[in-house]
Amino acid sequence: MDRNQYTNLSKAWEFVEEHALARQTPAMAQIREATQKAGMPQGSAAQAEALSMLVHLTGAKSVIAVGTGSVMETLELVRGLDGEGQLTAVDSSAKGIAVIRKAFDVVQDSTATKLRAVNAQAGVFLPRLNAGDYDMIVVAGDAVNYGASFAQASRLLRGHGIIVFTDVLALEGAGDRGGLLDPADRGDKAVAMRDLLDIVESDERFRTTLTPTGTGLLIAVKR
Per-residue pLDDT tens for 88-99?
999 998 888 888
Write down the pTM of the prediction: 0.93
Share the mean pLDDT of the chain.
Answer: 92
Per-residue pLDDT tens for 120-160?
999 999 999 999 999 999 999 899 999 999 999 999 999 99
Query: Which pLDDT score, from 0 to 100, does residue 174 have?
Result: 58
For residue 218, pLDDT beyond 80:
yes
State mean pLDDT over 168-182. 83
DSSP states of the chain: --HHHHHHHHHHHHHHHHHHHHHS-HHHHHHHHHHHHTT-----HHHHHHHHHHHHHHT--EEEEE-SS-HHHHHHHHHHTTT-SEEEEEES-HHHHHHHHHHHHHHGGG---EEEEEES-HHHHGGGSPTT-EEEEEE-SSTHHHHHHHHHHHHHEEEEEEEEES-TT--TT-TTS-GGGSTT---HHHHHHHHHHHHHHT-TTEEEEEE-STT-EEEEEE-
Task: Quote the number of domains for the chain.
Answer: 1
Q: What is the CATH number of the domain that holds 65?
A: 3.40.50.150
102 lies in which domain range? 3-222
Per-residue pLDDT tens for 108-121?
888 899 999 999 99
